[in-house]
Structure 1
Amino acid sequence: MDVLLNDIRACRLCEAHLPMGPRPVLQAAADARLLIVGQAPGRRVHESGVPFDDPSGERLRDWLGIDRDAFYDPHRVAIVPMGFCYPGTGRSGDLPPRPECAPTWHPRVLPLLGAIRLTLVIGQYAQTALLGDARGANLTATVQDWRTHLEHDRLPLPHPSPRNNRWLKQNPWFADELLPVLRQRVADALA
Structure 2
Amino acid sequence: MTLETVLTEIAQCRACADELSHEPRPVVRVRRETRLLICGQAPGRLVHETGLPFNDPSGDRLRGWLGVDRETFYGHPAIGVAAMAFCFPGTNPKGGDFPPPSRCAELWRPLLLSHLPRVELTLLVGSYAQAWALKAERKANMTETVRAWRDYLPAMLPLPHPSWRNTAWLKRNPWFEAEVTPYLRQRVEQILRP
Q: What range is the shorter-chain TM-score in?
A: over 0.9
Q: Which moved more, 1:19-28 or 1:69-78?
A: 69-78
* 1:20–1:74 CA distance, 2 compared to 1 (3 A): farther
**Could you say which residue in structure 1 is the equivalent of 2:119?**
116
1:105 is the counterpart of 2:121: no
Q: Quote the RMSD (CA, aligned, Å).
A: 1.0
Question: Which ranges in structure 2 are unaligned for 5 or more consecutive residues?
Answer: none
Question: Which ranges in structure 1 are unaligned for 5 or more consecutive residues?
Answer: none
After superposing on structure 2, the runs of 4+ consecutive aligned residues of structure 1 that deviate more than 6 Å are none
% identical equivalent positions: 51
State the number of aligned residues.
190
* 1:172–1:40 CA distance, 2 compared to 1 (3 A): same
The Cα offsets for residues 75-134 of structure 1, whole Å up to 9 and x where unpaired, read as 211111000000011213111001210110111100111111111001010000001111
The Cα offsets for residues 26-58 of structure 1, whole Å up to 9 and x where unpaired, read as 111111110011100000100111100000100
| SS at 2:123 equivalent | strand
**Could you say which residue in structure 2 is the equivalent of 1:7?**
9
Cα deviation, residue 73, structure 1: 2.9
**Could you say which residue in structure 2 is the equivalent of 1:139?**
142
The two structures have a TM-score, normalised by structure 2, of 0.95
| SS at 1:30 equivalent | coil
Q: Which moved more, 1:67-76 or 1:133-142?
A: 67-76
| SS at 1:103 equivalent | helix
**Could you say which residue in structure 1 is the equivalent of 2:90?**
88
The Cα offsets for residues 137-172 of structure 1, whole Å up to 9 and x where unpaired, read as 00000000001112x421000000011101001100
